[in-house]
Amino acid sequence: MKIVILGGGSAGVMFANRMRKEFSEDEVEITVVERSEKHIYQPAFTLLLFDLEDPKNLVRPTKDLFDEGINLITDEATKIDPQNNKVTTAKHGELSYDYLVIATGAKLDYSEPEGMKEGLDKGENVFNFYTMDGALKLRDALKKFEGGTIVSTFAQMPIKCPAAPIKFILMAEDTMRILGKRDKCKFILTTPMPAAFSRPPYMHALNSIFTKRGIEVKANFTPSEVDYGKGLMKDFGGKEANFDLLSITPPHTGEIVIENSEGVGDAAGWVSCDKNHMVNKNFLNIYGIGDATDFPTSKTASGARKQAKVLTERFKQIIRGEEPTATYDGEIICPILTRYKRVMFANFNYTESLSPALESYINWVLKVHMLRPLYFNLMLNGLM
């Protein structure tokens, strides 16, 4: 059996290594197409902002992440031809597959809101932490910040790790308090949704933290325009937010290769999949995993880890000649840094919340000190 995996980020690596450990090369040939030679641990970007992580700890050569016997092609996949079970690549021609697993992640769309790109390029008061470079610039701006209004935004859903803009504003507020600058600052969180977090009990706990700590939440606010010169952000409904420092979340879409491949994805480029079986809605030999999919749950590495387990289980069943029954229940775990030395884990699946809304020091130790080594040493290897 020939499996081609598009994308060798968190989800692609976790799945490829799990499969390699289960099956010999004679049983399953595994090829991964990944365009980047560097793998970056994105969940630590929010730690970089507050000097809780060293950038050099977050990057590894992509080729070092895969088990022996996985064929890595460093290239861009440009088109899928699902009728003929083929993928076109930019430099390596066509690849054929029996099964295709799409793990191409999410793409940041800098074309809107109007003025965002100009503000980010100027780099004086508009930032985003969705890239390593962006996170480092925001970290340096925070260090120099002497007072004024800090605004953190959500884009229209879905975005990666939907708690990230919340983590940023809560930690920024705590940082300014620790530095003795809290009285000179105002903090605003904008969200297109009716509340900053949609899931109880975390929603209620976070709302009460925002109120207690004087952080304003502007709900139903989708940024339409950013004017870095005036320090002004507008939304589609005419609401406004003034800022001295803006941390903006660019809208997310699926990758171009999905848009180029008829029948594989939806209008926004997300791979259309059954949310439990992970199989493409139109092609039974195509699966989706990770941020690339339209699963109605948060786009997180924790979700990708669970999905890699389920998908491997499904392939075990397929290869044994059984009907695959393993299902993904939508579970993700999102660590929300609420202040120094405190983290709340939001753990939920498609139907219910699975953990209490508790801020704890143990969670902090896990998030800040343990998750990155666990990720590189066990999770990516498919051992956890």
Question: For 35-76, where are the E strands, in sequence order?
Answer: 38-40, 59-61, 70-74
- Minimum CB separation of residue 185 from ligand FAD in Å reads 22
* Footprint of ligand FAD on 218-257 (CB under 6 A): 255, 257
Size of the site for ligand FAD (CB under 6 A): 37
Buried residues in 221-239 as b, exposed as e (16+ CB within 10 A): bbbbebebeebebbbeeeb
Beta-carbon contacts of 109 under 8 Å, excluding residues fewer than 6 positions away, are 250, 251, 252, 253
From the list 110-118, 145-153, 225-233, 284-292, the region that binds ligand FAD by CB under 6 A is: 284-292
Nearer to ligand FAD, 191 or 302 (CB): 302
* Footprint of ligand FAD on 330-349 (CB under 6 A): 334-335
The reply on whether position 300 binds ligand FAD by CB under 6 A is yes
Site of tokens 């008061």: 125
Nearer to ligand FAD, 45 or 283 (CB): 45
CB 17, CB 379: distance < 8 Å: no
The reply on whether position 290 binds ligand FAD by CB under 6 A is yes
Site of tokens 């977050």: 58
Q: Structure tokens of 102?
A: 């799409």
Q: How many helices (H) and strands (E) does the chain have?
A: 10, 23
- Minimum CB separation of residue 127 from ligand FAD in Å reads 12
User: How far is residue 211's CA from residue 197's CA, in Å, rounded to a whole number?
Assistant: 14
Site of tokens 């109007």: 114
Q: Which of these, 223, 60, 209, lies nearest to 156 by C-alpha position?
A: 223
- Minimum CB separation of residue 136 from ligand FAD in Å reads 13
User: How far is residue 197's CA from residue 201's CA, in Å, rounded to a whole number?
Assistant: 10
Q: Work out which of 3, 31, 48, 76 binds ligand FAD, going by CB under 6 A.
A: 76
- Minimum CB separation of residue 304 from ligand FAD in Å reads 5
Nearer to ligand FAD, 256 or 326 (CB): 256
- Minimum CB separation of residue 175 from ligand FAD in Å reads 17
- Minimum CB separation of residue 183 from ligand FAD in Å reads 29
Q: Work out which of 18, 20, 139, 160 binds ligand FAD, going by CB under 6 A.
A: 160
Q: Which residues bind ligand FAD (CB under 6 A)?
A: 6-12, 33-36, 42-43, 45-46, 76-77, 103-105, 129-130, 160-161, 164, 255, 257, 290-292, 299-302, 304, 334-335
